[in-house]
Amino acid sequence: MLEKCYTLVDGYRQFDFLTCVRYLNHLGRKQYGSSFSINPDDRFILHKLISYAIGSEERCQEHGIDLSKGILLTGPVGCGKTSLMTLLNAFIYPDQKYQVKNTRQIASEFHKEGFEVIHKYGMREKAFCLDDLGIEHTIKHFGNECNTIGEILLQRYELQVNQRIITHATTNLNADELEAIYGIRVRSRLRSMFNLISFPIDTCDKRK
């Protein structure tokens, strides 16, 4: 069984893409069951995500990825965004590891706990992944005057600018749809917060 995905050379981690993919498969099976299997069609996107997660400046440059920004992983329903963002944590340096938190759960916490929740996530001085941007708006009974996730995004933008603390996110929505939900102030900051990495729109739903 694969115990790790790199070898140490002079104290530096050395990665090899195929070993990383095998390791992801191994972790995916452990976490999501034996039917988990990296789809060969996803290799291109995985190359970008793994390059980012291992912090390879050279590979990231090739892909136009900026390591000082987070990842905004977009794609159709069920293509594997949440699973991948969760599994990629295994490659990330300890001080950059992030919690993956669904926006629906945050909306639910806001409903119970109020504005404190915005500070809890907006000002948390650690990398963080907002999973499923926009989905919280489909929960009508949490409907509130306050745009909870939009406010958190604005606060996390400040964290990035002032303290270089990174935020990641996943979503099914495109930039216009995100703007319709969170407003132009959020949209204008998205580009400087995130590297956009997108699954093609015809990527299969892995729930099927």
Ligand X SMILES: Nc1ncnc2c1ncn2[C@@H]1O[C@H](COP(=O)(O)OP(=O)(O)OP(=O)(O)O)[C@@H](O)[C@H]1O
Smaller CB distance to ligand X: residue 165 or 169?
Answer: 169
The contact pattern for ligand X, residues 167-186, with x = CB under 6 A and - = no contact, is ---x-x--------------
Count CB atoms within 10 A of the CB of residue 75. 20
Smaller CB distance to ligand X: residue 5 or 165?
Answer: 5
CA distances from 114 to 52, 142, 206 (A): 35, 11, 35
- The residues in 79-98 that bind Mg ion, with binding defined as CB under 5 A, are 81-82
Q: From Mg ion, ligand X, none, which one binds at residue 36 (CB under 5 to 8 Å depending on kind)? A: ligand X
Q: What is the DSSP letter of 196?
A: E
Using CA of residue 189, residue 193, residue 197, residue 202, what is the dihedral sign?
negative
Identify the residue among 17, 19, 67, 78 touching ligand X (CB under 6 A). 78
Identify the residue among 45, 54, 65, 79 touching ligand X (CB under 6 A). 79
Q: How far apart are CA 49 and CA 71, in angstroms?
A: 8
**199 conformational bin, left if phi > 0, alpha if psi -120 to 50, beta if neither:** beta
- The residues in 85-114 that bind ligand X, with binding defined as CB under 6 A, are none
Helix, strand, coil percentages (3-state) for the chain, rounded to 5, are 55, 15, 30
Q: Which stretch binds ligand X (CB under 6 A): 31-39, 56-64, 103-111, 175-183?
A: 31-39
- The residues in 122-151 that bind ligand X, with binding defined as CB under 6 A, are 132
172 close to 74: Cβ distance less than 8 angstroms = yes
Identify the residue among 13, 19, 22, 38 touching ligand X (CB under 6 A). 38
Identify the residue among 7, 14, 37, 61 touching ligand X (CB under 6 A). 37
Report the nearest approach of Mg ion to the CB of residue 62 (Å).
27
Q: How far apart are CA 64 and CA 61, in angstroms?
A: 5
Smaller CB distance to ligand X: residue 80 or 150?
Answer: 80
Partnered with residue 196 across adjacent β-strands are 72
Q: How far apart are CA 189 and CA 96, in angstroms?
A: 21
Q: What are phi and psi of 169, to 5 degrees?
A: -155, 160
Say how many residues touch Mg ion, by CB under 5 A: 2
**Does residue 32 interact with ligand X by CB under 6 A?**
yes
Residue ranges binding Mg ion (CB under 5 A):
81-82
Residue ranges binding ligand X (CB under 6 A):
32, 35-39, 75, 77-83, 132, 170, 172, 206-207
